[in-house]
Amino acid sequence: DTAVSQTPKYLVTQMGNDKSIKCEQNLGHDTMYWYKQDSKKFLKIMFSYNNKELIINETVPNRFSPKSPDKAHLNLHINSLELGDSAVYFCASSLGQGMETQYFGPGTRLLVL
Amino acid sequence: AQKITQTQPGMFVQEKEAVTLDCTYDTSDPSYGLFWYKQPSSGEMIFLIYQGSYDQQNATEGRYSLNFQKARKSANLVISASQLGDSAMYFCASLDDSWGKLQFGAGTQVVVTP
């Protein structure tokens, strides 16, 4: 059983398109996150939700909009994709906020052409 | 905000030997957590080990141990008896707030050779 799953695994699209990445966790966790890993492998948090409420919103262009329909799901919608959005996007979850271990999904590799 | 430094961009280690991956952190918060993750070439991020700032003992998980030196602000990962499957990128990360904002280092690429 996959604990944190993401779809799709790969996403290739043209500049200007809108795309979504879905994330689901079956761990019963309250908190979910989105991270971006750039081409140099650097990981940076983008957003987090605790029980469907937005907790962390880093300096991310407003073309990125997270949505949490319930605490097991956190989706990421990206409008007007740009070349610089090409990266690996990881979803993660933890039992709660704060000093809790975060468990990551397999990542979604986004390539914007 | 916490800063994590991993000074070794890459290293080679022979199978069955131990390897130490360096990690230093910079925080003024007395309460923080330190984590190590493994990212193999397949891309997933695998949690390895956790150390809390108030933990008295160094954390261990199987072949992984964390050499926690609080005064020196270091949290080095030791992998004992390296295996070919240990070849991966290893990230040190920290939490020092109540929001769950995990801060990552730049990573160390480990290659295990036969």
pLDDT tens per residue, range B7-58:
999 999 999 999 999 999 998 888 999 999 999 999 999 999 999 999 999 9
* Average pLDDT of span B93-99: 83
CB contact under 8 A, A104 and B44: yes
Q: What is the pLDDT of residue B1?
A: 61
CB contact under 8 A, B95 and A98: yes
CB contact at 8 A, A40 and A76: no
Q: How far apart are CA A87 and CA A79, in angstroms?
A: 15
Minimal C-alpha gap between B65 and chain A (Å): 17
Of the partner residues A35, A45, A97, the one whose CB lies closest to the CB of residue B98: A97
Average pLDDT of the residues of chain A: 94
Q: How far apart are CA A5 and CA A25, in angstroms?
A: 6
> What is the three-class DSSP state of B85?
helix
CB contact under 8 A, B47 and A31: no
At residue A1, does pLDDT exceed 70? no
Q: What is the pLDDT of residue A97?
A: 84
Which residues of chain B from 11 to 30 reach within 8 Å of chain A, CB to CB?
A: none
Confidence band for B99, pLDDT divided at 50, 70 and 90: confident
Task: Give A13-45 pLDDT, tens digit per residue.
Answer: 999 999 999 999 999 999 999 999 999 999 999
Of the partner residues B44, B91, B99, the one whose CB lies closest to the CB of residue A106: B44
CB contact under 8 A, B100 and A94: yes
* Average pLDDT of span A56-83: 94
Q: How far apart are CA A106 and CA B11, in angstroms?
A: 25
CB contact under 8 A, A101 and B106: no
